[in-house]
Structure 1
Amino acid sequence: MTYKKRLSFLIIVDSLIVLSSIYVGFWLLMPDANILSSGTLFLSSLTLIIWHHLFAYTYKLYHKAWEYASIGELMGITKAVTYSVTVAGFVQLLVNGHVYLRVLIVTWMLHMILIGGSRFSWRVYRDFYYKKNIHKKRTLIVGAGAGGTMVARQLLQNRDADLVPVAFVDDDPKKQKLQILGVPVNGGVSDIESVVMKMEIDNIIIAIPSLGKKEINTIYQECVKTDAKTKIIPMLEDLMSGKVSVNEFRDVEVEDLLGRDPVKLDMASISESITGKTVLVTGAGGSIGSEICRQISNFTPENLILLGHGENSIYSIELELRAKYDTTINIFTEIADIQDRSKIFSIMEKYKPDVVYHAAAHKHVPLMERNPEEAVKNNIFGSKNVAEAADTFGVNTFVLVSSDKAVNPTNIMGSTKRFAEMVVQQLAQESKTKFVAVRFGNVLGSRGSVIPLFKKQIQAGGPVTVTHPDMTRYFMTIPEASRLVIQAGTLARGGEVFVLDMGEPVRIVDLAKNLITLSGYSIDEIGIRYSGIRPGEKMYEELLNENEIHKADVFPKIHIGKAPLKDEEVLGYFLRNFETMSEAELRAYLLAVANNKEEELKHLYRTKVSV
């Protein structure tokens, strides 16, 4: 029905309702009067019709989609009817000297019933028709507050939605046993399993946008006890910023189940050190390096140099950044191996960056155990090349991306990372460049992390392999890791090791179980197999050892440690004699240096690392 036809239809219907209401009112209360010849009836009818349409126009009763009618529309009807009947009463008083009050009251009641009924019948028909004639998935909404109510209203009003809300759960006892938009609140979070079974629920929507990660995890653990598919509405900041709407449900991601809220750093304070400056990122095509580039680009540096060894990954991040920032940032790409000292010095001399973020590294623990010399050449000598080039050409700030595996390391990868920290700490003592290191835990979704492996195993039908049921790790997201690197650069004074407060460590087996259920399978369907601890792995990781803990935090959620330095000659000896060492000698010396084993170092150094 076109707008003009719809408007004409409503005006005719309302006119008939007005005439019927006042006629029936007079007839009910004044049955003996000659109604048709009554001038009062004619005048009252004319007044009511004119003023009803005026007030209906004022309160936009002809412009509303009545299939979505709610309290607001009812209030508009009430005002229009009340004011038009009141005006009719004033006209009666002026003409006749008195008001037919009882007649007007009956007229008002009939008017409200007929006008309201004619409008809301559209919504009743729509709700009944679509609920009965379209198969929809029965949905449980977790949270009966503002977010849950908005979700329920969206689902009830959207005729194309394939979900229909049939129940809420909410831990607020004041809301339980009530109905919201006709949908009952059937208990709290602990009742999810029983409600799903009783109400034959197909889908669960977690609809509390301000919910913390720990609470999401608690709710999700109740949801996975059922066979229902679990989704979640966007976070509060995304809703408020307008990025997404409340009905854009998404699957629960493993990042939602970290058990803590993401650490939010002071991005505003970073602008001063980046905006209008020249920034170089090594390993720019990697998971961390590419995200650092994305975060940096938000602050509009004048020049951004993407340095990496893999041409495909550098090409990919270059295309992405140019599509968004080509007119505001000068983007340069350099394909180079950080082990190539002359090339690194040449690049540093060419661009003379203000800030260097060194993210290039070998990080795979088992692979580096089997190839220790490559770990040394890349993680130690490569880092040394980039750091010394930064010192030579007057870089203001140099940030080394390190690892939690550098703390009390039991493997080659961790030992080389700790050695690289010591190299930049030595430089920090005498250089004008501010050298700092940043330690990460495991980064969810990064290359080489456990998540992509688990996903492949699940897609292949399982089982998911976990090394040990009690193994734990700290986890963070790629954006968190990247922000920490950038924030560390603004906090640098020289020689620090910055560490993110990552909450409680997560059991790997719990992560595997969550990922299986998030993928829509049961634990029994996929299965979990324990493969045993691999060479160089620890049962748990540390972020700072007891000798490195610094009492004062320089920034909320960021710890700072003054890691102990080794004598420059101890480091220098290894760097000078690396190529002549056997693998056993190399391993022994690295672990002794990284773990601060003085007696062992003295023995190795005294016997010229002969073991």
Structure 2
Amino acid sequence: MSSWRDRLKSGLPRLAVVAHDLAMVWVVWQALHRLRWGIEVNAPAIPLWSAEIALVLAAQGLVFWQVGLYRGLWRFAGVPDLWNILKASVLGLFAIVLGLFLYNRLGTVPRTVLVLYPLVLMGMLGAPRLLYRAWKDSRVESASKSSVRILILGAGHAGEALVRDLRRSGAYQPVGFLDDAVRLRGSKVQGVPVLGRVQDVAEIARETAAKLLVIAMPSADANALQRVVVSCERTGLPFRMVPKLQDVLEGRSLPGELKEVAIEDLLGRKPVLPDWKAIRGWLGARSVLVTGAGGSIGSELCRQCARHGARRITLIEVDELALTTTEAALKRDFPDVEYISVLGDCGDPAVIAHALKRAEPDAVFHAAAYKQVPLLELQLREAVRNNSLATETVAHACCLADVGTFVLISTDKAVDPVNVLGATKRLAEMACQALAGQFATRFVTVRFGNVLDSAGSVVPLFREQIRAGGPVTVTDPEVTRFFMTIPEACQLILQASALGTHEAIYTLDMGEPVPIRLLAEQMIRLAGKHPGRDIAIVYTGLRPGEKLHETLFHADERYRQTTHPKILQAEPRDVTAAHLESSIAQLREASSRYDLELLNNLLRMAVPEFQPVGTHPDYRESATVVAFPARNARKV
């Protein structure tokens, strides 16, 4: 009984709207007839109700319903609703004409009534809706007099939509727009005036007593956004920004949400747009296995696979808390996907064999690795065991299990390695390359640079140092790195996996490298501080195993464009499988005995290009950046 009453109660407003619209049809029909016949001396009597009027109401009411006039709400009536009303009025006229023609050959309806009917009806239906919305908006505006005063930077479509959302919420009061477009100067957008240029934000914010700045420029590039942020920082006021459409569509931001300006918004490189059709075509309905599934890359890779059609995801992780947390988040966000969790070290042959037997995967993403450069310089045995030997174990097990695709997550540090991390990841690449020539499994290696906000990366370190009041420690004023976001890195992995080559090394055209000094300064500014004044930047010198500049391709790796314009493919260098198998076996033996001296010698023999920092008289002069096809090689 209660559910019936609830449905009746919820349906009453819509019934009232239907009754209002049909009453307006009756009023218009009566008024037009009386207007037409009022000028005649011997005008016929006009009844208040007749079979003809009943037919008109039935025909017009049916058109209203079919056009979908009652799916919208008066509270949000706008131009689309007026267009819908005009369409319903015109179509209703045709329905009425047809019905009356069949009823009485239109013998009693003046042509003037038929001509004026849709226009007058549109006004009678649209005016109450717009008046109701204006009344509701005025109530919200009057209630928001004591709300937060907001100055909006950008008077385009995003700014206009933002004003509508803010007025509905009632918690914020837009006091003005700032925009550099001369044609908008002095105009109003949604009743809010355009007060001046973006660079004048400090002065205008004082004049308007604004308490919050909102950047409504989702399509602005990084350079333009940097200038806007600098202007906002001068005001001393907090500022937020409207998220980009891509972030909303991919679930990283909510519609209408105001987010803080993130460091990735200011780094100067447009994100790479993947070919989602190709990715879903390759990934759809597949079973995939991810090692290191609890890490920054592994967990996001699981989310991307779940989002884009994988039917089963197997997670291998040695950290029990990370495994539990990742699995719980996946089940919450993607409940329709089947999940298999395996706690253990993927380098243990029994663990990987058990996982492959349970999962029967079509593709394996090997993300498990140690990656902290200075730490691994002092932990050679674990670096070799986890980064190289475990990779060979997993890859070989995948070949024996007839896995279709094996994807190795590598790093730009594997190119001309000068540290243990780079050398062990390069050896992992070589191990995969040796297996690719012996088995049907397709091997894909994906290299990329530093990943923003990944565990142990420089961004969380800087953020913590800024929170503590500084100083922010940068190794060298000239050091540069390539950067990408975690979601972008995982999209690159999936995109490269979908390209279809049997054996290849892929990397992203990441544009120009970013100076770490600039990264630190931007993060300090985003925290509302001034570099050098509020937060000091201290240069500590390059740490053990660190380069000034990273590279993405070896000089002997011939690279070419792929079907994706931002992904490049390198031809793997020749590897002697027998020699590599012997090196791997010797490394396993030395690892089992924890013989660090032998491990060091064997690693240098297996990876001849490995030259630890310090072997050159002046490493700064010897570092070379290998250019992408569109650029010339240059010294740095």
Mapped partners of 1:395, 1:206: distance in 2? 48
Is 2:450 the counterpart of 1:442? yes
Tell me how far 1:325 sits from its aligned partner. 4.3
CA spacing shift, 1:346–1:69, aligned 2, 3 Å: closer
Is 2:262 the counterpart of 1:249? no
Residue type of the partner of 1:563?
P
Contact 1:169–1:186 under 8 Å retained in 2: yes
Among candidates 255, 258, 271, match of residue 280 of structure 2: 271
Residue matched to 2:547: 538
Among candidates 590, 602, 609, match of residue 596 of structure 1: 609
Contact 2:407–2:446 under 8 Å retained in 1: yes
CA spacing shift, 1:592–1:144, aligned 2, 3 Å: farther
What does 1:211-290 align with in structure 2 at a 5 Å threshold?
Answer: 211-237=220-246, 247-290=256-299
Tell me how far 1:586 sits from its aligned partner. 3.9
CA spacing shift, 1:140–1:434, aligned 2, 3 Å: same
Post-superposition CA distance 1:310-349 (Å, at most 9, x none): 12211222222233445x4332111221332243234334
Mapped partners of 2:286, 2:231: distance in 1? 49
Is 2:432 the counterpart of 1:424? yes
Mapped partners of 2:424, 2:81: distance in 1? 69
Residue matched to 1:397: 405
Is 2:182 the counterpart of 1:173? yes
Is 2:160 the counterpart of 1:152? no
Q: Secondary structure at the match of 2:559?
A: coil
Mapped partners of 1:560, 1:169: distance in 2? 45
Tell me how far 1:534 sits from its aligned partner. 0.7
Residue type of the partner of 1:223?
C
Post-superposition CA distance 1:381-435 (Å, at most 9, x none): 0000001111112111100000111111111001111111011011112211111
Residue matched to 1:469: 477
Mapped partners of 1:337, 1:284: distance in 2? 11
Q: Secondary structure at the match of 2:182?
A: coil
Mapped partners of 1:331, 1:180: distance in 2? 50
Tell me how far 1:125 sits from its aligned partner. 7.3
Among candidates 346, 366, 376, match of residue 338 of structure 1: 346
Contact 1:147–1:246 under 8 Å retained in 2: no
Residue matched to 1:515: 523
CA spacing shift, 1:368–1:492, aligned 2, 3 Å: farther
Mapped partners of 2:366, 2:220: distance in 1? 35
Mapped partners of 2:527, 2:601: distance in 1? 43
Q: Alpha carbon RMSD of aligned pairs, Å?
A: 4.3
Residue type of the partner of 1:176?
R
Q: Secondary structure at the match of 1:493?
A: coil
Q: Secondary structure at the match of 1:144?
A: coil
Is 2:491 the counterpart of 1:483? yes
Tell me how far 1:355 sits from its aligned partner. 0.9
Residue matched to 1:453: 461
Q: Secondary structure at the match of 1:186?
A: strand
Q: Secondary structure at the match of 1:419?
A: helix
Residue type of the partner of 1:406?
A
Residue matched to 2:154: 143
Contact 2:419–2:610 under 8 Å retained in 1: no
Mapped partners of 2:388, 2:564: distance in 1? 29
CA spacing shift, 1:404–1:193, aligned 2, 3 Å: farther
Q: Secondary structure at the match of 1:462?
A: coil
Residue matched to 2:31: none
Among candidates 486, 503, 509, match of residue 501 of structure 1: 509
Q: Secondary structure at the match of 1:251?
A: coil
Structure 2: segments with no counterpart, 5+ residues: 1-11, 21-38, 40-45, 47-60, 62-68, 84-127, 612-636
Residue type of the partner of 2:554?
N
Mapped partners of 1:287, 1:64: distance in 2? 43
Mapped partners of 2:179, 2:570: distance in 1? 43
Q: Secondary structure at the match of 1:491?
A: coil
What does 1:308-347 align with in structure 2 at a 5 Å threshold?
Answer: 308-326=317-335, 328-347=336-355
Larger Rg: 1
Mapped partners of 2:453, 2:506: distance in 1? 22
Q: Secondary structure at the match of 2:538?
A: strand
Structure 1: segments with no counterpart, 5+ residues: 12-39, 41-46, 48-57, 76-114, 599-611
Residue matched to 2:211: 202
Tell me how far 1:563 sits from its aligned partner. 3.2
Contact 1:425–1:436 under 8 Å retained in 2: no
TM-score by length of 2: 0.70
What does 1:125-136 align with in structure 2 at a 5 Å threshold?
Answer: 129-130=142-143, 134-136=145-147
Mapped partners of 1:586, 1:499: distance in 2? 29
Post-superposition CA distance 1:53-80 (Å, at most 9, x none): xxxxx9x9xx9989x99999999xxxxx
CA spacing shift, 1:597–1:357, aligned 2, 3 Å: closer
CA spacing shift, 1:200–1:496, aligned 2, 3 Å: same
Mapped partners of 2:257, 2:217: distance in 1? 13
Mapped partners of 1:275, 1:444: distance in 2? 28
Residue matched to 1:22: none
CA spacing shift, 1:175–1:390, aligned 2, 3 Å: same
**Percent of aligned positions that are identical:** 37
Tell me how far 1:504 sits from its aligned partner. 2.2
What does 1:13-52 align with in structure 2 at a 5 Å threshold?
Answer: none
What does 1:281-300 align with in structure 2 at a 5 Å threshold?
Answer: 281-300=290-309
Residue matched to 1:96: none
Contact 1:463–1:529 under 8 Å retained in 2: yes
Paired positions, count: 514
